[in-house]
Amino acid sequence: MRMAASGSVSADDILARARTLREQLGPGVHDRITQSLYEKAVEVVSVGVRVTGKPKIDWDLLADKVLTSRYLGFPIMLLGLAVVFYLTISGANVPSNLIATGLFWIEGQLILGMNAMGAPWWLTGFLINGVYRGLAWVVSVMLPPMAIFFPMFTMLEDVGYLPRVAFNLDRLFRWSGAHGKQALTMGMGFGCNAAGVISCRIIDSPRERMIAILTNNFMLCNGRWPTIILLSTVFIAASFPPVWSSLVAVGSVVAIVLVGVVVTFLVARLLSSTVLKGTSSAFHLELPPYRRPAILRIIHRSLIDRTLFVLGRACVTAAPAGALIWLLGNVHVGETSLMSHAASFLDPVGHFMGLDGIIILAYIIALPANEIIVPTIIMGYLGAGGMLELNSTGELGQLFTANGWTMLTAMCVMLFSLLHYPCATTTWTIWRETRSVKWTILANLMPLTLAVLVCAAVARVGRLLGWG
Amino acid sequence: MSGCSTCDSCEPSRSASQASVQLGFDLDVDRFDAVVALAGNPNTGKSTVFNALTGLRQHTGNWPGKTVSRAEGLFVYAAKRFKLVDLPGTYSLLSNSTDEEIARDFLLFGSPDCTVVVCDATVLERNLNLVLQILSITDRVVVCANLIDEANRKRIALEARAIEKELGVPVVPTAARKAQGLDHLQQHILEVATGQRVNQPKLPSLQPQLQAAVDELVPELLSLVPGLPCPQWVAMRLLEDDQKIEQALRDGSLAELVQRLSARQGQAVA
């Protein structure tokens, strides 16, 4: 360390002195200085600016008062979230079934074609029951909800609601030592964590940007909420009367999202009081005027830029994963397939977390893309050539129950899905954005540890209460 | 505070005698009598003011070492040549975004002869935050209350004299889109930049405790870094735990910047 100038005082003396003074002054020096600026500004304006016009009704201001109000802000946000999910869940059902029927009809034709050409069983199995079925699953499960969810989300962005959400959440970010703009990056993460991580560039302070990157994983991404929606519908909602079931399904999806948000704040707080010490930096968030949404632009942006992009990525990863699943199910060592071997090996670990060996195996296989977790689990249970063709969610429930699932298992799978680790693309993106192997590893280990702990705790408590 | 390479680019001759030929034409931006910085919040019509003042005599590049674009231009008023440097639009100088750092470094170490802060007259209160922050760095400030036509339309009346009295620096209403008030603005820039008018800015008063802490740090800072411009400002940043400033103090880059600054000022006097 070199001395800046000769003299009796060194830089370290001054910094030490400043630290002592800072401690004497207590927290919030920055805020106090900022406040003095604002007070002065108010004073100047009160003397020098006159508004002579009759105040017309300022609709923007009125809307802001309601949407960012202390009491109504949060309930409105939750309601909005619930409505978006409700429309997504109920709207996606019919097209999902149609697409599935169509794609599996094509599958039948392909198999007939392969057989006609005299292809050996293993080639047909590998290509059609493996690769093609993996793709078909992903497309039919993911395309409809994305095509509904993304435009709705883009619309909220376009009318100017998202900055208000950021405004509402600012107090919580301040508490957790993170940056208020993280709310926007979390919004992106809802779509895709890789995109969410890239969007963290809008946060200038390196410390707070790192927090935003490390916690983006807790935003339920597109690849994961089909799992959550499916399990909410099949397990949680099915135990309620049909009238309530879709409400209950939406409720449990919202609950899982909220758990993700709460975990984000807790982890951010933990990080900013340990490895990433510091307080939130102040920032200006201009609440832009509300605008009439430009429908065509929304459709273009959400369908082309987001839906097709995410779907394309999912397909690229689903195809090889489908192939791998097929191989694991069909290559036998001794009497049983590789998959059964691996599953029985992993069973104790799974049981500890309220899961089982097949589920753990599915999470390992699904590292490149979270989308294929449920298909992999199903395939693991069927134990034979390829992922299942499912006609109704009821059958799915029966299959799971037959394999020892309870409400507790479903809860643990949902929690593990929410928490575990980012997918391969996101991990790669984290490395690219941070250029640090250390942080990239932490970005995986931290959520994994959390997922294991939470699931183990829930499983333990659940078993004590006799849920499973 | 990243090595303030921003100042290197304002090094070129401050005296009109050393004509530079590198640009040719009439837009010889490197020949000037005074440097004027143009600061302001985004969306205040800052670029319109810049264009209205400099016309075609401008060129753009990047801030050294940064990907933030930098525009410079020239205007001539009362037979004096003014170089106008467009700073990035910022709401504040207190958080550590690249834009804010560039603006802050230029104000601290680029030693502009005058800084024009462009404000949106329809929401003056919001804009004053930046004005007051800049005032705590330099007193050579002219406030340009732009979009005054829009304010009038919304029946918002600005009493420039009263605001001027409250702030202690000139306040000029303009409507740059319609080229209104620019003459007036240039006149005030001339007066402030040449020292004909010396401002006495009225800064917001700090809480007594905070002020005492600042007062305690200032002499120490001055003895470590003699000639440090606005030590009060630096002291406040230290009390806020501003990592960049702490780093600059620790590794001596702050002292280096001050040395370069005073060397340059010595040259200009000679």
Q: Work out the percent of chain A whose per-residue pLDDT is above 90.
A: 23
The first and second tokens of residue A87, run together, are: 């429309």
Asked if pLDDT for residue B226 goes beyond 80, the answer is yes
Contacts of A50 in chain B (CB under 8 A): 156-157, 159
Q: Does B21 score more than 60 pLDDT?
A: no
What is the band of B81 on the pLDDT scale with cuts at 50, 70, 90? Answer: very high
d(CA B108, CA B244): 14
- Rounded Cα distance between A400 and A390, Å, is 13
Q: Residue B256's pLDDT band (boundaries 50, 70, 90)?
A: confident
Backbone angles phi, psi at B257, to 5 degrees: -60, -40
pLDDT of residue B189: 97
Residues 15-74 of B with CB under 8 A from A: 42-43
Q: In angstroms, rounded to a whole number, what is the distance separating the alpha carbons of residues B229 and B108? A: 7
Name the more confident of A417 and B266. Answer: A417
pLDDT of A309 reads: 74
Does the beta carbon of A56 lie under 8 angstroms from any beta carbon of chain B?
no
Q: Pairing relation of β-strands B141-146 and B114-120?
A: parallel
Helix (H) or strand (E) run with residue A259 in it: helix A242-273
Specify the pairing of strand B69-77 against strand B58-62: antiparallel
Q: What is the pLDDT of residue B17?
A: 35
Closest CA–CA distance from residue A192 to any residue of chain B (Å): 26
| Cα distances (Å, whole numbers) of residue A360 to A323, A342, A376, A416 | 18, 10, 10, 10
What digits encode the pLDDT tens for the residues B174-195? Answer: 999 889 999 999 999 999 999 9
Q: Which of A10, A39, A40, A50 to mutate to test the interface with B (most CBs of B within 10 A)?
A: A40
| pLDDT-derived band at B62, boundaries 50, 70, 90 | confident
Choose the weakest-confidence range: A153-167, B73-87, B193-207: A153-167
User: What single DSSP character describes residue B175?
Assistant: B
Helices (H), A49-181: 59-67, 73-116, 121-124, 133-159, 162-176
Evaluate if residue A456 carries a pLDDT over 80: yes
Residue with tokens 């800084």: B115
Coil/strand/helix, residue B146: strand
Q: Look up residue B178 and give its amino acid.
A: K
Where helices occur in chain B by DSSP H, the ranges are 46-54, 98-109, 124-135, 148-153, 160-167, 182-193, 208-224, 231-239, 243-250, 253-269
Contact B106, B98 (CB under 8 A): no
In chain A, what residues touch B153 (CB-CB under 8 Å)?
A: none
The interface predicted TM-score of the complex, written ipTM, equals 0.85
Residue B8 has pLDDT above 70, yes or no: no
pLDDT at residue B267, as a whole number: 64
> Nearest residue of B to residue A10 by CA position?
B224
Residue B164 phi, psi dihedral angles, 5° rounding: -55, -40
Residue of B44, B92, B95, B97 best to disrupt the A interface, most CBs of A under 10 A: B95
CA distance B222 to B234: 10
Whether B250 and A30 lie within 8 Å, measured CB to CB: no
- B125 → closest Cβ in A22, A29, A45: A45
Tell me whether A52 touches chain B (CB under 8 Å): yes
What is the pairing mode between strands A49-51 and B58-62? Answer: unpaired
Q: What is the pLDDT of residue A218?
A: 95
Per-residue confidence at A56, pLDDT binned at 50, 70, 90? low
Q: What's the gap in Å between the CA of B9 and the closest CA on chain A? A: 24
Q: Which residue of A has its CA nearest to B209?
A: A25
pLDDT by residue (tens digit) across A392-434? 556 777 888 888 888 899 999 999 999 999 988 889 889 988 8
Contact (CB<8Å) A52/B155 = yes
- The DSSP element (H or E) to which B21 belongs, if any, is none
Q: Which whole number is the average pLDDT over A58-80?
A: 86
CA-CA-CA-CA torsion sign (B160, B162, B165, B166): negative
* pLDDT tens-place string over residues A337-393: 888 888 889 999 999 999 999 899 889 888 877 877 887 787 778 765 445 555 555
Residue A225 has pLDDT above 80, yes or no: no
Task: Give A332's strand partners.
Answer: A337
The model's pLDDT over B156-176, given as tens digits with 9 standing for 90+, comes to 899 999 999 999 999 999 999
Here the contacts of A68-73 (C-beta below 8 Å, separation 24 or greater) are: A68/A164, A68/A167, A68/A168, A68/A287, A73/A164, A73/A168
**Residue B85 near residue B72 (C-beta atoms within 8 A):** yes
pLDDT in tens, A32-47: 888 899 999 999 999 9
Taking only residues 303 to 362 of chain A, the set having a beta carbon closer than 8 angstroms to any beta carbon of chain B reads none
Angstrom CA distances, A262 to A10, A55, A223, A266, A422, stand at 44, 41, 20, 6, 18
Contact: B241, A22; criterion CB under 8 Å: yes
Q: Are A145 and A51 in contact (CB under 8 A)?
A: no
The pLDDT value recorded for residue B98 is: 78
Interface test with A, best of B94, B133, B214 (most A CBs within 10 A): B94
> Which residues, numbered 235 to 254 in chain B, qualify as contacts with chain A under a Cβ-Cβ cut-off of 8 Å?
235-236, 238-241, 243, 246, 249-252, 254
Please give the pLDDT value at position B169.
Answer: 96
For residue B20, the model assigns a pLDDT of 34
pTM: 0.63
